[in-house]
Amino acid sequence: MDENAAPHSLSGQVVLVTGGSRGIGAAIATAAAAAKATVAVGYRDNADAAAAVVARIRELGNVADAFRADVSDRSEAQELISAVESSFGRIDGLVNNAGIMPSSPFLNVTAEEWNAVLHTNLFGPFYCSQAALPGMLQRRSGSIVMISSRLGQIGWPELAHYSAAKAGLLGLTKSMAREFGPQGVRVNAVAPGFTITDMTRDIVDTESGHRRLKELPSGRFPEPEDVADAVLFLLSDAAGQFHGQTLNPNGGGFMQ
């Protein structure tokens, strides 16, 4: 997406993107800034990468800052929301993107690994959403977008914990949409397929990558910007009739 284009304006809005320091999260944060939002870049470990995203956003002439938190910890997630609201006055759009994806055969998954994945990928969005909702409900306005995954829709070997957490996000999305839609807050999800990022780029030219590509009607793997476009739409007023929906920027790898 052209960083100077804003097909769905977010002018005057404050958007928080968790896991916003790299990959899909960084693309979402940059897209929101291009749409004229004030952007809070949430991160856990990589302060330098988060600072680079903030610098890129400021180059667009927009307001942005980075906020550190481990969203798998309820108190840190609550402190993240409080810090953003204190700095920018409110949160209009929350994108729950932070996640981890370790790979383990099902019989080898330890309780510690299971808990780490569920607490980051499912509990984290719950914690952040619960903390951000009071302000949105008070204004009777807001949009929450959960970043799920195609693997939460189809399952995948050696990623049972990740698939379970991402599937849980889809149920959480629908339940929240039904509860808070009548009060002015929209809740939706985006479920990307295999997306080219720094973590996946090496797979593209492998036998597995070639096989996956042949399965896509689009003829190409999605880029982070493709996912960001879907998120941007759901954050914007153009998605006013979208409640509890899941958009699938996956190149046709999974069709509903």
| DSSP secondary structure of 62-75 | --EEEEE--TTSHH
**221 DSSP assignment:** P
pLDDT in tens, 161-217: 999 999 999 999 999 999 999 999 999 999 998 776 766 656 656 656 656 666 767
User: 127 an active-site residue?
Assistant: no
What pLDDT does residue 198 have? 65
Which CATH number is associated with domain 14-247? 3.40.50.720
For residue 4, pLDDT beyond 50: no
Q: Cβ neighbours of residue 29 under 8 Å, at least 6 residues apart?
A: 15, 17, 20, 39, 41, 53, 57, 64
What pLDDT does residue 252 have? 74
Q: Cβ neighbours of residue 68 under 8 Å, at least 6 residues apart?
A: 42, 43, 44, 47, 50
pLDDT in tens, 95-118: 999 999 999 999 999 999 999 999
What pLDDT does residue 255 have? 73
What pLDDT does residue 60 have? 87
**pTM (2 d.p.):** 0.92
What pLDDT does residue 224 have? 87
What pLDDT does residue 2 have? 43
Helices in 119-159 by DSSP H: which ranges?
A: 124-139, 151-154
Per annotation, catalytic residue among 43, 162, 180, 194: 162
pLDDT in tens, 13-61: 999 999 999 999 999 999 999 999 999 999 999 999 999 999 999 998 9
Between residues 1 and 157, the one the model is more confident about: 157
Query: What band does 232 get if pLDDT is binned at 50, 70 and 90?
Result: very high
Q: Residue 204 carries which side chain, given as an amino acid letter? A: V
What is d(CA 20, CA 33) in angstroms, rounded to the nearest whole number?
12
Return the domain boundaries, the chain.
14-247
